Amino acid sequence: MITYLENQSRAPSSSSSAASAASAAVISDLDGDAAELEAYGRDFGGMTLAVPAAVIRPSTSTDVAGAVRFARSNGLSVAARGNGHSVHGQAAVGGGLVLDMRALSSPIALVRAAGAAYADVPAGALWEEVLEWGLAEHRLVPASWTDYLGLTVGGTLSNGGVGGQCFRQGPQVANVAELEVVAGDGEIRVCSPRCNSDLFFAVLGGLGQFGVITRARIRLLPAPDMVKWIRVVYSDFSRYVSDAETLVGRAGPGLLDYIEGFAFVNSMDPVNGYSIVPFEPKFSFDPKRVPQTAGPLLYCLELAIHYNHGDDTVDQRTVEMLRPLGYIEELEFHKHVSYVDFVSRVKRTEEEARANGSWDTPHPWLNIFVSAANIVDFDRKIFRKILRRGIGGPMLVYPMLRSKWDERMSVVVPDGEVFYLVALLRFARPPPVGPSAEEMLKENRKVLDRCRSAGFDFKLYLPHYRTQNEWANHFGETGWRRFAGRKARYDPAAVLSPGQGIFPL
Ligand code: FAD
């Protein structure tokens, strides 16, 4: 059953009456509320507003198909909305239909095939719900995680889904065995690497352009009990990079399960400085250990090893792993935590940000994949120049391997086997304490201009562009031809996900 919320006051009358017609056909439980409707026009970025004509809450893929067919035959756009955690209005659809994917109601189910375990998950499920289900029912968990788990399965699969397991397990888009998709023609199709494979790979990282994912079959692994969580600090970025790349090349069972890292300010600044490194205030960061020659930024490599209760080798394995690394002696922090606490760690950041108000301020985030060939120059020309005072939030920088990504997917990454995620995750206090959104956006543009003028090989992750030309450049000549061809094949009327701004009507 579909429930929906119609825009009584702000939508163009044609859209509003079209939505009313939809209600006669497939929609019931009319429940309009202008404020709630407006909330569906915003997202985590807090910088855009595009109020939909109606919000549809589909509980089945048949409901989704009905809504897509209805939108198509009435000249309306339609967008799946996961948890609205985009930052530039990518899930919004002004004057059109928003599908609130959180309403999909099928239960998560365990599937075993060819000796492997999978979860069949409704696309609107949050990753934290998949975690909870897997632990409670089967002691099985997804192989690859994002840092934050309040994101939907369909939302991250439409982008990539990256985190510290990527170097070993691949991104989330590389850990899917099958999808159920409602394409732009309103047909429900099941696809996998062997069946309807072009649609399968199109949708993975496809920015919602080819179909609405309604169900995903996610690869599972046995859940470890515990995690040894380690942070080590560098003053020399070249050494940081060389150690990180050695570690990603050495991954194997029992060696290393997670690698991330971040740049931070070489000062006592309470938001951007030393205090963000130790896990808890009781582990103190001794600035006297930082060499006099250090620059404005330091770098923290974050590592984790999984283990089970009764395994008493993990500390020794850690010592062996760390021995060849060139971090600053005694700027080394360790912690044993449960696996659940580890993968849910950003939940605590969310609680703190909600408490200090920075969860609700604008978030002009910038995520860039930068080739390993350019990352040291990125540090020299961008981290240590433009970003040397910090950004009021994490500045992640860690490597992943191109061979873990499938080139048939829509998502694009730089050339070369190793590339880095650089994530500028701005959490600013409202002005006048913090900078305005416009100031932060200006700084982002400066970063990208510098990347271009320096000739770096880079791609935006969670991309956002204003013109089709920029999108074509993003995908490259062959990639754009493929992307546009897939659009013509699966969503010829271009009704899906207009908030990405790729195919204007
Ligand atoms: P939405 O923002 O609602 O949607 C994103 C896009 O996907 C839209 O175009 C929408 O139309 C489309 N879409 C949504 N659902 C579907 C579906 N079922 N079928 C087809 N298209 C669909 N990303 C990472 O990779 N790693 C991280 O560690 C990470 N951490 C984050 C932490 C925070 C606090 C936030 C706010 C974001 C983070 N992200 C991370 C980014 C996240 O992956 C994106 O925001 C992504 O869009 C998922 O969010 P969502 O589920 O709310 O999707």
E strands along 115-252, which residues?
116-122, 140-142, 176-183, 188-191, 211-222, 226-234
Query: Which residue's CA is the nearest one to ligand 1's atom 2?
Result: 86
Task: Say if residue 185's pLDDT is above 60.
Answer: yes
Query: Which residue's CA is the nearest one to ligand 1's atom 10?
Result: 91
Give the model's confidence band at 283: pLDDT under 50 very low, under 70 low, under 90 confident, else very high.
Answer: confident
Determine the average pLDDT of the residues in 417-445. Answer: 94
Q: What is the pLDDT of residue 22?
A: 44
3-state helix, strand, coil in the chain (%, to 5): 35, 25, 45
Task: Say if residue 504's pLDDT is above 90.
Answer: no
The alpha carbon of 12 and the centre of ligand 1 are apart by a number of angstroms equal to 28
Determine the average pLDDT of the residues in 207-234. Answer: 98
User: Domain 2-104 falls in which CATH fold?
Assistant: 3.30.43
The alpha carbon of 318 and the centre of ligand 1 are apart by a number of angstroms equal to 34
* Per annotation, catalytic residue among 6, 43, 63, 85: 85
Task: Say if residue 371's pLDDT is above 70.
Answer: yes
Query: Which residue's CA is the nearest one to ligand 1's atom 12?
Result: 208
Percent of the chain, pLDDT > 90?
87
The alpha carbon of 423 and the centre of ligand 1 are apart by a number of angstroms equal to 15
195 CB burial (10 A radius; 0-12, 13-18, 19+): exposed
Task: Say if residue 116's pLDDT is above 50.
Answer: yes
- What type of residue sits at position 252? G
Q: What is the pLDDT of residue 164?
A: 98
Ligand 1 atom nearest residue 496's Cα: 11
Q: What is the pLDDT of residue 428?
A: 86
Ligand 1 atom nearest residue 158's Cα: 7
Q: Say if CB 269 and CB 364 are below 8 A apart.
A: no
Task: Say if residue 15's pLDDT is above 90.
Answer: no
Residue 6: partners with Cβ closer than 8 Å, 6 or more residues away: 16, 19, 20, 23, 30, 32, 37, 53, 54
Give the model's confidence band at 249: pLDDT under 50 very low, under 70 low, under 90 confident, else very high.
Answer: confident
Structure tokens at 448: 């990208």
Determine whether domain 226-461 maps to CATH 3.40.462.10. Answer: yes
Which of 99, 156, 347, 396 is the pocket-test mutation for ligand 1 (most atoms within 8 Å of CB)?
Answer: 156
Task: Say if residue 6's pLDDT is above 90.
Answer: no
> What are the residue ranges spanned by the domains of the chain?
2-104, 109-222, 226-461
Ligand 1 atom nearest residue 181's Cα: 19
The alpha carbon of 11 and the centre of ligand 1 are apart by a number of angstroms equal to 25
Q: What is the pLDDT of residue 458?
A: 98
Query: Which residue's CA is the nearest one to ligand 1's atom 30?
Result: 148
The alpha carbon of 440 and the centre of ligand 1 are apart by a number of angstroms equal to 21
Q: Say if CB 427 and CB 363 are below 8 A apart.
A: yes
Structure tokens at 50: 């595009």
Determine the average pLDDT of the residues in 173-177. Answer: 98
Q: How far apart are CA 453 and CA 131, in angstroms?
A: 43
Three-state secondary structure readout of 447-474: HHHHHHHCCCCEEEECCCCCCHHHHHHH
Give the model's confidence band at 433: pLDDT under 50 very low, under 70 low, under 90 confident, else very high.
Answer: confident
The alpha carbon of 178 and the centre of ligand 1 are apart by a number of angstroms equal to 19
How many Cα atoms sit within 13 Å of 1 on the Cβ side? 4
Q: What is the pLDDT of residue 163?
A: 98
* Catalytic residue check, 63: no
* Catalytic residue check, 286: no
Which of 98, 128, 158 is the pocket-test mutation for ligand 1 (most atoms within 8 Å of CB)?
Answer: 158
Q: How far apart are CA 461 and CA 464, in angstroms?
A: 9
Q: What is the pLDDT of residue 434?
A: 87
Q: How far apart are CA 172 and CA 218, in angstroms?
A: 8
* Per annotation, catalytic residue among 129, 245, 260, 302: 260
Adjacent-strand bridge partners of 336:
228
List Cα–Cα distances, 101 to 105, 128, 232, 485, in angstroms. 9, 15, 40, 26
Higher model confidence: residue 300 or residue 255? 300
Closest by Cα among 297, 490, 502 to 389 = 297
Q: What is the DSSP string of 88-146?
A: SSTT--TTSEEEEGGG--PPPEEEEETTEEEEEEETT-BHHHHHHHHHHHTSEEES---
The alpha carbon of 80 and the centre of ligand 1 are apart by a number of angstroms equal to 11
Percent of the chain, pLDDT > 70?
93
| Strands 54-57 vs 97-100: parallel, antiparallel or unpaired | parallel
pLDDT digits (tens, 9 = 90+) for 442-478: 999 999 999 999 999 999 999 999 999 999 999 999 9
Q: What is the pLDDT of residue 99?
A: 98
Ligand 1 atom nearest residue 123's Cα: 18
Q: How far apart are CA 259 and CA 401, in angstroms?
A: 12
Q: What is the pLDDT of residue 251?
A: 58
* Catalytic residue check, 260: yes
Q: What is the pLDDT of residue 27?
A: 39
Structure tokens at 151: 């994101």
Query: Domain 109-222 maps to which CATH number in 3.40.50.150, 3.40.50.2300, 3.50.30.30, 3.30.465.10?
Result: 3.30.465.10
pLDDT digits (tens, 9 = 90+) for 29-41: 334 588 889 999 9
Q: What is the pLDDT of residue 32?
A: 57
Structure tokens at 25: 């056909």
**Same fold for the domain at 2-104 and the one at 226-461?**
no
Query: Which residue's CA is the nearest one to ligand 1's atom 32?
Result: 148
Ligand 1 site residues (CB inside 6 A) read: 44, 79-86, 90-91, 101, 123, 146-148, 151-152, 154-156, 158-163, 207-208, 212-213, 462, 497, 499-500
246-255, 275-284, 391-400, range with the lowest pLDDT: 246-255
Determine the average pLDDT of the residues in 61-80. Answer: 96
What is the rounded average pLDDT for all residues in the chain? Answer: 92
* Per annotation, catalytic residue among 38, 120, 132, 147: 147
Give the model's confidence band at 52: pLDDT under 50 very low, under 70 low, under 90 confident, else very high.
Answer: very high
Q: Say if CB 178 and CB 203 are below 8 A apart.
A: no
Ligand 1 atom nearest residue 171's Cα: 25
